[in-house]
Structure 1
């Protein structure tokens, strides 16, 4: 059985230190096959926050792929936001949008953040380029196993307290389903969810992780454990006591 830990929205700078320590201890005790981090590693994209996030991820000693969240882009430094938005991510460069291929499962990254939009900057958006890359990655995956797409914003609303309102999300979900994706993993809303949708004649799971930050909403700090056996996928919401 393959075991993946899906974690999101740690928000270093506003992290829940007890929740992060709990996650660390669980990783070291159970040694999952890989960790999928679906964005918002930091609170304000500060160098000190990225340094803490980098040290944390490296210390887990497991294969990791990281998606960029809206909080990981500079908010107040507009020059950096438009022209060098990922400069402070350099120590994490090898983990950013890294496809993971584990025997029996393929994880394909897809960016849903944007540097500018004429609405709430925190909401999601799937560009044509990001979708094309993700669809190509799904198409190249081994069809004998499961194919998971990892992004920060939910592609459609999941009934959580917070919303994503992802521009182009529904079209992206349809394209990913047609390409053969089995599930889409996301974060952003700080509450876990697990939905099943029929899209173009295919069944796709939409799986959201909670948060390890102090910015909880309806749920306590949590992460998802994905258990994969053959083509069967079980999602366990692991909630801190």
Structure 2
């Protein structure tokens, strides 16, 4: 069995220190095979926020892949946002959009952020043709007998949570991912967990969202998802801070 911890929206700068310590303790005690972070490491993409995120992630001492979230693009520096939007991520380069090959499961990244969009709310999701093309190429290289999960920040379609993603190109991307053999999509952004099955022309795909470890909670306490993969089957459970376990 392969066990994964899926966490999202940590928001250093508005982090919940108690929640971070709780998650780190769970990682240290339970030693998952990998940690998947689906975006929004920071609140305002400041250097000190990235530095704190890097130190925290490295201390987990686990294989980690990290997606870029909309909060991880510079807010107050137009030059940095449009010309060098990911420069402050460079210290975390080995973790960013890192494909993972584990026992019986492959994790493939998909970028859903954009430095600008033709709408007022740039925090919402956007899947470019370049981004989906890169992900489809990586999907083609995964072992045939693996359960394949795609990790991105924004839900590709709405999942009934209070917050929304309104991801442009998301539905078409989901159809393409299913056709290419993806079994599930892991996301964040909405700060509440969900696990639903979405029908596509190529068959059903699991859509799994993680909550938050920040102070910016919605309807769920600080939480993360625990995923078990065994014999091609995927089981999930939400681990909320304060549960007896």
* Pairwise TM-score range, normalised by the shorter structure: over 0.9
How far has the Cα of 1:118 moved from its partner?
2.2
How far has the Cα of 1:143 moved from its partner?
1.8
Aligned-partner Cα distance in 2 for 1:143–1:210: 31
Q: Contact (CA 8 Å) 1:19, 1:212: kept in 2 or not?
A: yes
Aligned-partner Cα distance in 2 for 1:22–1:102: 25
- Alignment match, 1:215: 216
- Alignment match, 1:179: 180
Aligned-partner Cα distance in 2 for 1:114–1:157: 19
- Alignment match, 2:116: 116
- Alignment match, 1:53: 53
Deviation track 1:173-228 (CA, whole Å, cap 9, x = no partner) reads 00000000000000000000001012114121000000000000011100000001
Q: Contact (CA 8 Å) 1:39, 1:68: kept in 2 or not?
A: yes
Deviation track 1:82-127 (CA, whole Å, cap 9, x = no partner) reads 0011111111001000000012100000000000012201000000
Aligned-partner Cα distance in 2 for 1:26–1:130: 33
Aligned-partner Cα distance in 1 for 2:202–2:172: 15
Q: CA RMSD in A?
A: 0.6
Q: Contact (CA 8 Å) 1:211, 1:221: kept in 2 or not?
A: yes
Q: Contact (CA 8 Å) 1:145, 1:230: kept in 2 or not?
A: no
- Alignment match, 2:192: 191
Aligned-partner Cα distance in 1 for 2:63–2:202: 33
The count of residues paired between Structure 1 and Structure 2 equals 241
Q: How does 1:54-93 map to 2 (within 5 A)?
A: 54-93=54-93
Q: Contact (CA 8 Å) 2:175, 2:202: kept in 1 or not?
A: no
- Provide structure 2 residue ranges, at least 5 long, that are not aligned to the other structure: none
- Provide structure 1 residue ranges, at least 5 long, that are not aligned to the other structure: none
Q: Contact (CA 8 Å) 2:191, 2:218: kept in 1 or not?
A: yes
Aligned-partner Cα distance in 1 for 2:139–2:172: 15
